A = this chain, B = another copy of it.
Amino acid sequence: MNDAALDDDLLDDSLAEPGEVGLVEPRDFVSPEPFACDDGRVLPGFTLRYETYGRLNPAGDNAVLVCHALSGDHHCAGIHSLADRKPGWWNNLIGPGKAVDTNALFVVCANVLGGCQGSTGPLSINPATGRPYGLAFPAVTIRDMVRSQKRLLDHLGVKQLRCALGGSMGGMQALQWGIEYPAFCTKILAMATTAREGAQAIAFNEVGRQAILQDPEWNQGNYPRGGGPRVGLAIARMMAHITYLSDASMDRKFGRRTVKDRPGAAPAAPAAPDPAEAAFLGMMGDEGAPATPTAAFDVNFEVQSYLRYQGQSFINRFDANTYLYITRAIDGFDLAASGGGTLEAAFAPVRAETLVVGFTSDWLFPPEQNRAIVLALQRAGKHASYAELATDLGHDSFLLESPELYALVSAFLNRRA
């Protein structure tokens, strides 16, 4: 096993698949000291749930911090049990002999502050009241996330961060790392990201937030764990999911195929239609209408089933208040504004070597926004380069299998400055 933090007797090298991180276990880092957030509110302390893979070297300088995106978490590689069929979200990139090579590197990934997968966030109990924070939770920023991660790395004994690495919101954190801790952060690898969103990306987040805020179950953010605005959260996720893909990839995956086109197949997604949908499909009772769906209402595109499945599975693992908080943090992220007006000025402190990777079909944080980061770094006299990968898989390209990406990541991490 490659997880230095694990001492469980379940661990046995023979259990790990060749090239796989294998069994991993999340841990909790509890920082007991007060933490002042950018909005002025002070948390009395906080917890970050995290995982590590590989071993920290004696010099403490081989750590890679993986920063996750909006809907990600600390579990970015390996499996949680031998029956676990779904490895961590970046398992294709991270492992022994992979692009982020755990034979050489000590990989750390933590659920962000404000998150809902074990780290302190709106679902956590506010010690001042004994009830969940809800809206009393500070309005966390990307910088708050980064500063809380620094406490974790200090705790783990990391002396020098080899690389801050992430895609999408993870890329924002990686950039912020270089600004906040210039002497500590040796390399930055940011993918499919932006130094600030444009109006369209803000607009999509705003619609998602409104779907949650307007759901009566949201109740001003006061709801029991597992309850809350599930409908609003599912709508937000369905819409956001479209922005993570591309027109071309959706057409290839679904086109206009209807569920009944698939030979002998029920929809991959929810087997039983929900009541509202069933009604819409024509199975209503007393309106004088036929009791069976009519031909025109029978249309049921595969992409519809797929999206509904995405929405449903998301609400079983994510918290609506965290969705509000984290999208707000993303929308508020603006390095130029916080750097005194220009991106170049914001990057003045950076000492890290930076690689930014954009994807041609990413229309959420399009290539020009990725490129602008590198241009500003270069104008500021920094060591920075930009790589653009031609894919038609959209924003989520950074998460998907790509030997080209693996080669870039591996070469960048291994290169000596």
Shortest C-beta distance, A371 to chain B (Å), equals: 15
Interface pair A250/B139, CB less than 8 Å apart: no
Q: Given contacts A242-B200, A247-B200, are A207 and B307 in contact (CB under 8 A)? A: yes
- Determine whether A83 belongs to the interface, using a CB cutoff of 8 Å to chain B: no
Interface pair A41/B294, CB less than 8 Å apart: yes
Shortest C-beta distance, A20 to chain B (Å), equals: 33
Stretch in A45-53, A102-110, A165-173, A273-281 touching the partner:
A273-281
CA distance A301 to B131 in the complex (A): 31
- Which residues of the partner chain B approach A406 to less than 8 Å between Cβ atoms? none
For A289, give its contact among B135, B213, B296 (CB under 8 Å).
B135
Query: What are the interface flags for A174-210 relative to B under an 8 Å C-beta threshold, 1 for contact and 0 otherwise?
Result: 0000000000000000000000111110111011011
- Which residues of the partner chain B approach A253 to less than 8 Å between Cβ atoms? 199
For A206, give its contact among B138, B216, B245, B304 (CB under 8 Å).
B304
- Determine whether A264 belongs to the interface, using a CB cutoff of 8 Å to chain B: no
CA distance A129 to B214 in the complex (A): 34
Query: What are the interface flags for A329-342 relative to B under an 8 Å C-beta threshold, 1 for contact and 0 otherwise?
Result: 10110100100000
CA distance A251 to B369 in the complex (A): 13
Query: What are the interface flags for A354-377 relative to B under an 8 Å C-beta threshold, 1 for contact and 0 otherwise?
Result: 000000000100100000000000
Interface pair B220/A207, CB less than 8 Å apart: no
- Which residues of the partner chain B approach A203 to less than 8 Å between Cβ atoms? 238, 242, 250, 303-304, 307
- Determine whether A128 belongs to the interface, using a CB cutoff of 8 Å to chain B: yes
For A210, give its contact among B213, B245, B299, B311 (CB under 8 Å).
B311
- Determine whether A84 belongs to the interface, using a CB cutoff of 8 Å to chain B: no
Interface pair A199/B250, CB less than 8 Å apart: yes
Q: Given contacts A196-B256, A199-B303, A301-B202, are A213 and B139 in contact (CB under 8 A)? A: no
- Determine whether A151 belongs to the interface, using a CB cutoff of 8 Å to chain B: no
Query: What are the interface flags for A194-238 relative to B under an 8 Å C-beta threshold, 1 for contact and 0 otherwise?
Result: 001111101110110111011110101110000000010011001
Interface pair A247/B138, CB less than 8 Å apart: no
Shortest C-beta distance, A316 to chain B (Å), equals: 16
Query: What are the interface flags for A133-154 relative to B under an 8 Å C-beta threshold, 1 for contact and 0 otherwise?
Result: 1111011110000000000000
- Determine whether A254 belongs to the interface, using a CB cutoff of 8 Å to chain B: yes
- Determine whether A98 belongs to the interface, using a CB cutoff of 8 Å to chain B: no
For A328, give its contact among B204, B296, B331 (CB under 8 Å).
B296
The count of identical subunits is: 2
Shortest C-beta distance, A332 to chain B (Å), equals: 5
Interface pair A277/B206, CB less than 8 Å apart: no
CA distance A324 to B290 in the complex (A): 18
For A218, give its contact among B139, B215, B276 (CB under 8 Å).
B276
Interface pair B250/A294, CB less than 8 Å apart: no
Interface pair A199/B126, CB less than 8 Å apart: no
For A332, give its contact among B39, B140, B215, B299 (CB under 8 Å).
B299
Interface pair B213/A277, CB less than 8 Å apart: yes
Q: Given contacts A198-B255, A220-B279, are A307 and B136 in contact (CB under 8 A)? A: no
- Determine whether A9 belongs to the interface, using a CB cutoff of 8 Å to chain B: no
For window 266-292 of A, CB contacts with B under 8 Å fall at 274, 276-277, 279-280, 282, 284, 287-290
- Which residues of the partner chain B approach A17 to less than 8 Å between Cβ atoms? none
- Determine whether A239 belongs to the interface, using a CB cutoff of 8 Å to chain B: yes
10 contacts between A and B (CB under 8 A): A126-B287, A129-B288, A140-B296, A207-B239, A210-B234, A210-B311, A211-B211, A239-B239, A247-B363, A256-B334
8 extra A-B contacts, CB within 8 A, seeds A136-B289, A206-B301, A299-B328: A39-B295, A129-B287, A135-B289, A198-B256, A200-B251, A206-B308, A207-B239, A235-B235
